[in-house]
Structure 1
Amino acid sequence: MNGDGWGSERRNPSLKQVFRAEKLSKSFGGLTATLDFTLEMGERAIQGIIGPNGAGKTTVFNLITGVYKPDTGKMWLGEEEITKFSSDEVARTGISRTFQNIRLFDQMSVLDNIKMAMHNRIGYHLWDAIFASPHFRSREQAIRQESLEYLNRFGLLERRNELAKNLPYGEQRRLE
């Protein structure tokens, strides 16, 4: 995939830039999957990456999420360079992806699905959980509060106690 940086011309200059990828390239053996891909995203931006099968779209997403390391190029989240971050470190920054097939804990509530996603930046140890330490309780309360804020932002707050499998498809996609 050859990126021409088209995202930069269309963004609103009054919005803060939150993500930038500059001249990302990735090859596998002798096959170039992505060449000089550039993208800028502003606050509240919605952008898409389109192209035919084999164009390198999945490679771009794998580069952005840290699954692959670029052969050349750099990425920033705000002012922080994240090019060499592992996929776990990238996820902790809040960058994530969805797949064509929805992956939810369908036997858990909408709220519990969000809380599960938040536990990758949990901030306590197993012993804290086993003994329900004050630190554990305060972190769990913070995770619950932040989860409720996300549900409110995505219009799912009123459905927080429903099982994820009972949501309509569009709401399941938003939950994911």
Structure 2
Amino acid sequence: MSSLNTEHPIAPAPVHVSSMAQCVLTDLTDLPRVGFRGMQSAEYLQGRGFVLPDTPNRAVTQADGSHVARLSQTEYLILGSVLDSGERIADEEARWELDHSANYLLPRQDSHAWLQLSGVCIADVMAKLCGVDLRLKAFGAGAVAQTSAARINVIVVNVGGDSQPAFQILFDRASLDYFKGAVLDAMAEFG
């Protein structure tokens, strides 16, 4: 049995996946997201109340349901929460003040599309599109992969766990229809 939400744009709402669901694809492209880069980005974000990953290619879920992914030593990607329609992240982007010596704002709303793939078969679906092992034993909760899937560059963030597996996938916004079609095609085998 499979459930599918592919409407675009979506009205941001909590995504709940039953343990029976094979896979659910949700388009989160309309939720706010933003990046920060620079030698002082960690201090800046911590000062704004974010809990940060200790190392690159890791992510931390915040108390409000948003996520902070560390892409390199000095670059962070902040993903809005469906619980507040990404309001906190939109506010952070609007409040940011340019400090040339500290960090740079990297707008991501117009550059990156954003899908969430959730359910029990997500690693199997992604195996049809991507050469990286995204099974839970190799790619646990909080892991981040910057790789290629369906021949485009993607960022995959494991925001789930054993009981509720979920990947958030970001990629070039111009490729939204193409990549969504590729994921749907890969999902077809699983129901």
Identify, as 1 or 2, the structure richer in helix: 1
Superposition TM-score, scaled by structure 1 size:
0.28
The TM-score, its normalising length taken from structure 2, stands at: 0.27
Tell which structure's C-alpha radius of gyration is larger.
Answer: 1
The structure showing larger relative contact order (alpha-carbon pairs under 8 Å, at least 6 residues apart) is: 2
Q: Please identify which structure carries the higher strand content.
A: 2
